[in-house]
Chain A
């Protein structure tokens, strides 16, 4: 499953773009002039060495205010009854800003309310530091690689 939020440049007086996938929130409508690269999300089913089913959300591109559908949309599409272990793959993420971090926190809020556990891997050392600084590590375990994460689950 792939969620893509395309960005369409508009040349009459600058670059403009609109969310074209899923619902467009009021906030997205007010932020309609955006030149960030698209965010893609893909869902994979994995099994940990201990035999637990793990759902991986693999992100690609920027994670910013434009990434709501890709980040939250892909997460919300998961069946809450079966996707109890969610693994976020940031290996192909180039840029995360505070709005993107807020989307991850919104996901953690929903996961907490649904009894899901969230883990992540593939963050650069810098973004591992940033996630730690804002406290995300209290609610989502961070691992260097997918193998490290799966071994811990």
Chain B
């Protein structure tokens, strides 16, 4: 039985595609913790989308900035923080509406945050102090195995 939390950190360049490094790392940690395969897939997509948001919107694809990913595994849950140098979100976007998208009333993009919220047990967006080091915190629980 796991007695204490352990932590893994990854630092990504602000380049699209590197989210897959965080995705693979998160999957490896979750597998070590004993998460079911379908929950690992959920986590991979949520982590990838969080990293894409950090790269594109937080760090604005700036080569000089990196995205920090901190994975902390506890007894019953894995917490993932994805940290960028942006100012953070003012408000959460509304839930995407496929009918509005198909009829041109809504941008076809903009589903990343919806997917994050839908695929993990907890998701919160935290503004950093001084307008920097904002992060999204994701939690996925082992006890969700019961569903």
Contact = CB atoms under 8 A, between A and B. Distances in A.
- Whether both chains belong to one complex is answered with yes
Interface of A: 13-15, 30-31, 33-36, 64-66, 95, 97-99, 101-103, 105-106, 108-109, 112, 124-126, 130, 133-136, 138-139
B15 A30 contact: no
Given A33-B61, A105-B108, 12 more contacts: A35-B16, A35-B18, A36-B17, A64-B16, A66-B16, A98-B52, A105-B98, A105-B101, A125-B38, A130-B45, A134-B96, A135-B97
Interface of B: 13, 15-20, 38, 41-42, 45, 48-49, 52, 56, 61, 63, 96-99, 101-102, 104, 107-112, 114-115, 118
A66 B96 CA distance: 22
Contact of A34 (B17, B41, B98, B104): B17
A125 B42 CA distance: 11
A34 to B, nearest CB: 5
A95 B21 CA distance: 13
A33 B13 CA distance: 10
B96 A33 contact: no
Contacts of A102: 107-111
Interface residues of chain B: helix, strand, loop or mixed (majority): helix
A66 to B, nearest CB: 8
A98 B49 contact: yes
Nearest to B97: A135
B104 A35 contact: no
Contacts of B99: 135, 138
A105 B102 contact: yes
26 contacts: A13-B63, A15-B15, A30-B61, A31-B61, A33-B63, A34-B15, A34-B16, A64-B16, A64-B17, A65-B16, A97-B19, A97-B48, A98-B109, A98-B112, A99-B109, A102-B111, A105-B101, A106-B108, A109-B101, A112-B102, A126-B42, A126-B45, A133-B115, A135-B96, A135-B99, A139-B102
A4 to B, nearest CB: 17
